[in-house]
Amino acid sequence: MKDISVNAISLRTSRREIAIGERTLIMGVINATPDSFSDGGLFQSSAEAIEQGLRMAEEGADFIDIGGESTRPGSDQVSLAEELKRVIPIVRGLSAKISIPISVDTMKAQVAREALDAGAEIINDITSLHNDPAMAQTIAAYRAAVVLMHMRGTPKVMQKGDLSYGSVPGDMISFLHERMEKAQSAGINKDRIIVDPGIGFGKTAVDNMRLIRYLEDFKKLGSPILVGVSRKSFIGYITGGAPQERVEGTAAAVTAAVLNGADIVRVHDVSFMKKVVMMADAIRRA
């Protein structure tokens, strides 16, 4: 394995400065949706989702990421009103009870605006500011941090048709570089940008594994790297099993991501993956 640099950089949100690179950080996932691929329907009320967020914080999560719209392959967008109804009470409830940053997974500027007003600090936009022309200006105005992710197409069609690329990970790096320039031109400082290669979004199982293998290449972008592998179908491609049966495969993928340079890993099983990350970090930094 190549030597991986672990030089610390800073990530700024609307409320704080976060050291990146001293250790791999953990982002716990809360899907407040009935149809997410892994935990859809698990949290039937805002109170249940808030309790889950509190548990994740106690288990050692460094961020909580809340989503009110499924982005699994084949999914449709939900209405603005429905997404707000799902997300904002959770953000408001958690922000009053936890001290760690809250991220909101949305592609709608109005959801981002109300979430930031309610206490969120990071907007995780899987469309990299493409979907809503007001998103970049909204994030800049609030001085929030943003996750820019690579995805080709939309969740509805991203796994259909020709999934081939000229270069993996070269195409993803070029895309993210262009989106970073777009964000900065809209007033979002580079120290507020996180990049995500988009594992599982418009890619084959082999492409997803190749992205993890060559994750180090994304370091040239100069921003923190977020990786989301938790329970995804490329793991089932290797190990079999339903999403809830992919914990061991997720642990292996998380370990490989950490060893290859991930700064943040996005997971469902915080307590379990916290120990996996601690061990992988110890090896990476030995």
CA distance 24 to 121: 19
User: How far apart (Å, rounded) are the C-alpha atoms in residues 174 and 171?
Assistant: 5
Catalytic status, residue 219: no
Q: Is 278 helix (H, G, I), strand (E, B) or coil?
A: helix
**C-alpha–C-alpha distance, residues 196 and 133, integer Å:** 20
Among candidate residues 86, 92, 246, 266, the one labeled active-site is 266
What the block records as the tokens of 32 is: 């407040």
4's tokens: 């991986």
Catalytic option among 232, 246, 274, 284: 232
CA end-to-end distance (rounded Å), the chain: 13
3-state helix, strand, coil in the chain (%, to 5): 40, 15, 40
Q: Are 243 and 236 in contact (CB under 8 A)?
A: yes
Look up 274 and say whether it is catalytic: no
Tokens of 240: 């079999």
CB-count burial class (<10 Å; 0-12, 13-18, 19+) for 59: middle
In contact, 225 and 219? CB cutoff 8 Å:
yes
**Residues assigned a catalytic role:** 232, 266
